[in-house]
Amino acid sequence: MWLYLAALVGLYYLVRWHRERQVVSHLRDKYVLITGCGSGFGNLLARQLDMHGLRVLAACRTEKAAEQLRAQSSDRLETVTLDIAKTESITAATQWVKERVGDRGLWGLVNNAGISGPWGRSEWLTKEDFVTTLNVNLLGTIEVTLSLLPLVRKARGRVVNVSSIAGRLSFLGGGYCISKYGVEAFSDSLRRELAPFGVKVAIIEPGSFKTNMTNTERVLQQFQAAWDQARPEIKEIYGEKFLESYLKLLSEHVLPVEKENLSEVTDCMEHALTACHPRTRYSAGWDAKLFYLPMSYMPTFLADAILTWGLPRPAKAL
């Protein structure tokens, strides 16, 4: 019996391996728009796809970042400035894309642009802090997608949304985890709605990688800024010692585990764009696969115990 079971499992992975190796034809004729190409995953993916011959439309928030990317790429790659938090910027970029792709449509849309902060314990933050993150990571992603969806549908192409392990497991206060949970929900509903049109939707869930968004000094500054703006009664409840211990824990044990090999993520993005049979979800990084993803399926009390183990306690905790 066990031999038959092992054979079935082996056959399943063999078929899966074969399906995932099949690549879409005529990739050199296909256009892909990537947001957030100024640095990090988007910048590397733009150069990676350009090197493989795709027609890359790289959206950067500033012209300076766009110039730097063009200097590192071939003449095929084109850039556009885009701030996904501004409707007028999205409208202008959409028109620019229409002029480039014409009747061929847009094969791939990679919603990669995002911000990480403001970070902090939820009680330290204001509504505006949450809105700042949600406007970019969630509402910006939605607006860009809705604006370009007719072009993607025309090409029967792909939408690739960059979420995070934080979209599976919320472990820090602020709008980041909330926004990524929202990206997951938006992607799931979009996938089902677009399936009849031949459009595929994939979600990328990176673990902890070293990018400008996760710069240790910047994250610590955001936590400090959140504390500084907290109400006096909140500071009294938590205490200065809590802040010192929390920042020390972040700087010495949490943030330093970030990995620098960003290609683990961009390879997943490329597969989602170029494979005949892309996956629905891609977990990138050993921590995502072996720690956060399994933990998201654990009983809540157990996941809570693991995530809060070793954390300092507020001054007036019970």
The confidence score (pLDDT) of residue 256 equals 66
Q: Which residues belong to the active site? A: 176
Q: What is the pLDDT of residues 225-266, one digit of tens each?
A: 999 999 999 999 999 999 899 888 888 767 666 667 899 999
Q: Which CATH superfamily is domain 24-213+259-292 in?
A: NAD(P)-binding Rossmann-like Domain (3.40.50.720)
Q: What is the pLDDT of residues 121-173, one digit of tens each?
A: 999 999 999 999 999 999 999 999 999 999 999 999 999 999 999 999 998 88
DSSP per position, 238-289: H-HHHHHHHHHHIIIIIGGG-B--THHHHHHHHHHHHBSS--SEEEESHHII
Q: For the whole model, what pTM was predicted? A: 0.92
State mean pLDDT over 9-34: 84
Sign of the CA dihedral with 261 first, then 60, 176, and 124 last: positive
Q: Which residue has the higher pLDDT, 107 or 19?
A: 107
Mode of pairing for the β-strands spanning 108-111 and 78-81: unpaired
Per-domain residue ranges of the chain:
24-213+259-292
The full 3-state SS of 69-112, as one line of letters, equals HHHCCCCCCEEEECCCCCHHHHHHHHHHHHHHHHHHCCCEEEEC
